[in-house]
């Protein structure tokens, strides 16, 4: 049976009977995930890491990834898989693409930080993260029927969405180099690395 939303095989089936009326939903795993019908399976840290180690290289592309080396500390992804640890902060940039599925599984689908930002990095919060934060707060405000706050948040979101770029400020006045190894310069490197890997 095909998925109701795409051409993939449907693996998640939901039957609802409301007031005697029956509706059926047949979805593939990814559409079901998107619609929130299923939750990504969680794994314990040890299982996750064990899986990282066991996963064989299925294609030439993965092999290239395994030999990709962090310019800063010299770690390869194969070494990271073996150790279960990264070698330096630059590794997060270098292996961003390979780390994403692991992070999704370890952190309930999340791939972006939403919490505290060092004061020195003030003003360079990722726009995407900020938008996510506001959307989530908006949802909470609506759920709590706090419409005044919801309206404020909606306006802030609206302003942000109309803004072209808010991430150009790096650091605050006291810290001209910006936040440690973070800062806007890092986002540019993210793009570079990911672009290179797509070649």
Nearer Cβ to other proteins, position 26 or 183?
Answer: 183
Closest CB 164 distance from other proteins, rounded Å: 17
Cα-trace Rg, the chain: 21
Nearer Cβ to other proteins, position 63 or 180?
Answer: 180
Which positions ≥6 away from 78 have C-beta within 8 Å? Answer: 66, 67
Segment near other proteins (CB under 8 A); pick from 29-37, 150-158, 173-181, 191-199? 173-181
Nearer Cβ to other proteins, position 2 or 82?
Answer: 82
Please tell me the distance from the alpha carbon of residue 134 to that of residue 122, in angstroms, as a whole number: 17
Q: Which helix (H) or strand (E) holds 18?
A: strand 12-18
The string of DSSP letters for 31-45 reads HHHHTTSS-PPP--H
Closest CB 184 distance from other proteins, rounded Å: 8
Segment near other proteins (CB under 8 A); pick from 20-28, 29-37, 123-131, 149-157? 123-131
Please tell me the distance from the alpha carbon of residue 149 to that of residue 43, in angstroms, as a whole number: 37
Q: Is 103 in the site for other proteins (CB under 8 A)?
A: yes
């Amino acid at each position: 049976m095909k998925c109701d939303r795409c051409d993939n095989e449907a693996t998640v089936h939901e039957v609802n009977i409301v007031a005697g009326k029956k509706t059926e939903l047949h979805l593939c795993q990814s559409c079901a995930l998107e619609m929130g019908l299923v939750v990504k399976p969680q794994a314990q840290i040890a299982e996750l890491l064990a899986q990282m180690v066991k996963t064989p290289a299925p294609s030439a592309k993965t092999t290239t990834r395994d030999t990709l080396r962090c310019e800063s500390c010299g770690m390869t992804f194969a070494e990271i898989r073996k150790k279960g640890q990264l070698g330096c902060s630059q590794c997060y940039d270098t292996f961003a693409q390979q780390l994403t599925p692991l992070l999704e599984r370890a952190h309930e689908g999340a791939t972006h930080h939403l919490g505290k930002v060092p004061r020195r990095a003030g003003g360079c919060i990722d726009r995407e993260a900020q938008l996510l934060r506001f959307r989530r707060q908006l949802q909470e405000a609506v759920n709590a029927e706090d419409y005044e706050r919801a309206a404020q948040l909606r306006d802030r979101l609206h302003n942000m969405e109309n803004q072209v770029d808010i991430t150009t400020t790096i650091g605050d006045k006291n810290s001209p180099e910006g936040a440690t190894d973070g800062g806007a310069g890092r986002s540019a490197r993210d793009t570079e690395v990911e672009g290179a890997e797509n070649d």
